[in-house]
Amino acid sequence: MRAAVVTRFGPPEVLKILEWPTPVPASGEVLIRTKAIGLNFADAFVRMGYYPSVPEPPFIPGIELTGVIERVGNGVKGIREGDRVVAIRKHQAYAEYVCVPATQTMRLPKTMSFEEAAAFGVTYLTAYHGLVTLAHVQPEEKLLLHAAAGGVGTAALQIAKHLGAEVFATASSNEKLELARKQGADHLINYLTEDFAEIIRSDTNEYGVDVVLDSVGGRVFRKGWKLLAPMGRYVLYGLAAVTGERRVKKVRALWELASIPWIYPPSIETKNVSLMGFNLFFLMHKVEYLRGALQELLKLYKKRVLRPVIGAKYPFERIAEAQAFLQSRKSVGKVVVLM
């Protein structure tokens, strides 16, 4: 079979399409013939070797795929050959055939295409975990959402509006902000030309926001942390500020990390605010929780509350180019690779 393999840690071009042994499903596993792959920032960090517990090259990366069940291992119940499924696993999604524990797969709704499914799982689970599980967003609360036109950003906008929140959306261009508006954003802020902190203070009469969902970090975190109202919740789930188009820029990373304020724990008590962080890549062992959350999200998809935004599609042969495009932060919505 063909697989996109990390041949060494480094920029996107270290991903090479190679022949690789086709896996055989063990007990409790299924073999999926891949139809589409969802790209995530975690894939880029794995490729660069910045995550702990990443295998030594060569290895197959990728955490999100969708396809058709080709074979079923011993002991698997409730799923059979020919079923259309979405699957999430820690590595090995960048391949024509992938073995996945059956518990980490879920059947697709009949109306969901493979492309939509590849844009759904990790993206919407990330937004759900941040907004629902951690922040418990309530109706009429004010939410500051950074990178609002990205894959997670558009998913978070749809979920936030379903929850009844008032959303302040930031993005780096008017085109991206127009996309955020179409997803329901109430306030649009171009962070390259406007000061989001000043605008929010003005528009809320100095109240600030109840929740911040931040994938950028660095100086953005410094400003956003100060905007939290009493009982405010800050959810940090990424550090995109340190990444460049090909690799982590070390000088820039040091500058952005140095910009993060030192937080004195007793001040959290006196200000009545919370700081939470997560990375879905390191929550893969929470299988039952993720299955339950995905089931809830798919119910909302069936009701047409949620609709994934696909910003770019690439053929499998150009998966390295697709990763570079995602890492450039020029993309909108989800980047999907078609097998």
Cα separation, 82 vs 87, in Å, equals: 15
In the chain, which ranges are E strands?
Answer: 2-6, 15-19, 29-38, 64-72, 84-88, 97-101, 105-107, 142-145, 166-171, 187-190, 209-214, 228-236, 274-277, 310-315, 334-338
Percent pLDDT > 70 in the chain is 94
Amino acid at 318: R
pLDDT, tens only, 277-336: 999 999 999 999 999 999 999 999 999 999 999 999 999 999 999 999 998 888 999 999
pLDDT of residue 242: 60
| Mean model confidence pLDDT for the chain | 93
The 10s digit of each residue's pLDDT in 150-205 is 999 999 999 999 999 999 999 999 999 999 999 999 999 999 999 999 999 999 99
- Indicate whether this model's pTM tops 0.85: yes
Residue 208 corresponds to which tokens in the numbers above?
């600030």
Q: What is the pLDDT of residues 50-107, one digit of tens each?
A: 888 899 999 999 999 999 999 999 999 989 999 999 999 999 999 999 999 999 999 9
Write the single-letter amino acid at 236.
Answer: L
Q: Which residues contact 85 (CB under 8 A, 6 or more apart)?
A: 30, 32, 66, 67, 68, 69, 79, 105, 106, 107, 108
Could you tell me if 119 and 34 are in contact, meaning their C-beta atoms sit under 8 angstroms apart?
no
CA distances from 307 to 120, 148, 269, 333 (A): 8, 15, 39, 11
Computed over its alpha carbons, how large is the radius of gyration of the chain?
20
Element (H, E) at 295: helix 287-302
The structure tokens listed for 95 are 């391949």
Q: Distances from the Cα of 330 to the Cαs of 167, 183, 325, in angstroms?
A: 22, 18, 7
